[in-house]
Amino acid sequence: MATSTAYLGLDIGGTGVKAGVFSRDGKMLASSRRAFEPTISADGHVDISIDIIYKSAQEAVHEAAKKSRTKILAMSISSQGETFVTLDNNARPLHDAILWYDSRAGRQAEELREAVRSATGRIPSIDAILSVSKIRWLQENHPEIMRKARRFFLLPDYIAYRLTGIAAFDINTAASTGLLTSAGDKYDPAILKAAGIDFAQLSNILVPGTPIGKILKPMAKEWGLTPATILVSGTNDQYAGAIGAGNYRPGILTETSGTCLALVTLTKRLPKPMPRGLFGGCFPIKPYYFMLAYVKTAGVVLDWFRKECAGGASFDVLNAEAAAVPIGCRGLTMLPHFDGMVSPTPNAAMRGRFCGLTLKHTRADLYRSILEALTFSLKENMEWMRQHGLAIETVRGIGGGAKNEFWLQMKADVTGQPVEQPAVTESAVLGAAMLAAWGAGAFFSLSETSAAWYHIGRLFIPKQVNHDRYKAPYRRYRELTKG
């Protein structure tokens, strides 16, 4: 029997889902997770059944709600962008969901940009990972399937449609389709025409924190909720993570070390023109904009190494081995850009490398070189942000990497700046719950919610001697990334 009321956050990532239940004062009451693994074809296409994602989310929410012994007043979803699926007239998936970092649609992106330029004189920001490019790829390569297309869903609006019968998602996730105007507030007719997509095939766009509707009775039972539970529009996982880590004003940087590495900070105005390698847009907390830098392959490289090169050894074991390796990995430098470089210098042709290998190097050297490379990428992107006028006073580590205290100390040592480990390291789950609480009326504003619920778990102070020792390996890394 439920003994109190609470709010639930659901985070749908690239390799699994996490659900967390939080009390009115932000205390985590229960959590649950389910893992899944996308398939990667010989051509590099990354797909997964939408049913696997849905079932994983349903099981995680049901388990967390049951363990909390509470009545869930509202829930919200934090989600990766770009990942989408197409449904037919009977709401059946026509293909597996294509994941966000799949880059099969480079040519289609170029053709869409040219089509819009020819029609309007302007060049939209469309690249290979946006949903619209991959929809065009499907239309070209599987026309017999796409002739049946009735709706295009990303993950949060797919879940919303199943739970409430209402097709709606937040404006930040909608932007990752590549279908919005440059103002980012509505669908662009010229892009829709170029892509062969109709308005009726798309979901309604809402501001994050907007109530979507109550959970349908059959769904409420399946998910461990009640028909009175309100589904509130969420946001992209990077921004949900920032909110969950108390990133509610300029000067705070949240770095997410998950599948990708993402840096988010806030500003009152966006630079014009936007620098290459930096991205910006409306943030769920007004009046701020977000500035984002990211590395496409981060934690996924660590997973690759653990599985393919370390016999499935645990990260605890690998960290212990790496701790015995000297800074700089005895001359070994690694480049973690397995699928192109985005920030700070876009280079789609960049690929991962181990440079300076000798017979003296061990798997511990290799593993540590990956951690160092990702940390150097964090540092260079922080420098790039500062060069463009963004203040960074506080650094907070979130995501799966925030559990790795060896890595957090390395980040402090390399950047020369203290790094906070939040009390709740799964900040995207907490951020989604904050949106749910705010959307249900528990707080006056989202910034108030973020400030009230964020707490520091541990602070990692840089060690000057280590900071100095990292300078030469960092210079070596920067030279190699320049080609």
Which region holds residue 321: left if phi is over 0, alpha if psi is between -120 and 50, else beta?
alpha
Instruction: Please tell me whether residues 215 and 327 are part of one structural domain.
Output: no
Q: What is the pLDDT of residue 483?
A: 67
- Structural domains of the chain, count: 2
Question: Lowest-confidence range among 28-32, 42-46, 232-236?
Answer: 42-46
CA distances from 246 to 63, 269, 391, 450 (A): 27, 20, 16, 5
Instruction: Please tell me whether residues 360 and 481 are part of one structural domain.
Output: yes
Q: How confident is the model at residue 334 (pLDDT cuts 50, 70, 90)?
A: very high
Instruction: Please tell me whether residues 266 and 214 are part of one structural domain.
Output: no
Please indicate, yes or no, if residue 233 is contained in any of the structural domains: no
Please indicate, yes or no, if residue 369 is contained in any of the structural domains: yes
Q: What is the pLDDT of residue 3?
A: 62
Instruction: Please tell me whether residues 304 and 194 are part of one structural domain.
Output: no
Q: What is the pLDDT of residue 443?
A: 94
For residue 470, the domain's CATH number is: 3.30.420.40
Q: How many CA atoms lie within 13 A of 479 on its CB side?
A: 8
Instruction: Please tell me whether residues 254 and 224 are part of one structural domain.
Output: no
Q: How confident is the model at residue 272 (pLDDT cuts 50, 70, 90)?
A: confident
- Buried/exposed 3-35: b ≥16 CB within 10 Å, e otherwise: eeebbbbbbbbbbbbbbbbbbeebebbbbbbbe
Q: What is the pLDDT of residue 399?
A: 82
- Checking if the pLDDT of 273 tops 90, the result is no
Instruction: Please tell me whether residues 112 and 71 are part of one structural domain.
Output: yes
Exposed, middle or buried: residue 472 (CB in 10 Å: 0-12, 13-18, 19+)?
A: exposed
Q: What is the pLDDT of residue 1?
A: 44
Instruction: Please tell me whether residues 282 and 221 are part of one structural domain.
Output: no
- Checking if the pLDDT of 112 tops 80, the result is yes
Q: What is the pLDDT of residue 130?
A: 96
Q: What is the pLDDT of residue 387?
A: 94
Instruction: Please tell me whether residues 258 and 143 are part of one structural domain.
Output: no
Chain mean pLDDT for the chain: 95
Please indicate, yes or no, if residue 210 is contained in any of the structural domains: yes
Please indicate, yes or no, if residue 62 is contained in any of the structural domains: yes
Please indicate, yes or no, if residue 259 is contained in any of the structural domains: yes
Instruction: Please tell me whether residues 49 and 156 are part of one structural domain.
Output: yes
Structural domain harbouring 64: 4-228
Q: What is the pLDDT of residue 269?
A: 92
Q: What is the pLDDT of residue 268?
A: 94
- Stretch 294-322: mean pLDDT: 94
pTM of the model: 0.85
pLDDT digits (tens, 9 = 90+) for 367-399: 999 999 999 999 999 999 999 999 999 999 998
Instruction: Please tell me whether residues 38 and 177 are part of one structural domain.
Output: yes
Q: In angstroms, rounded to a whole number, what is the distance separating the alpha carbons of residues 74 and 395?
A: 30
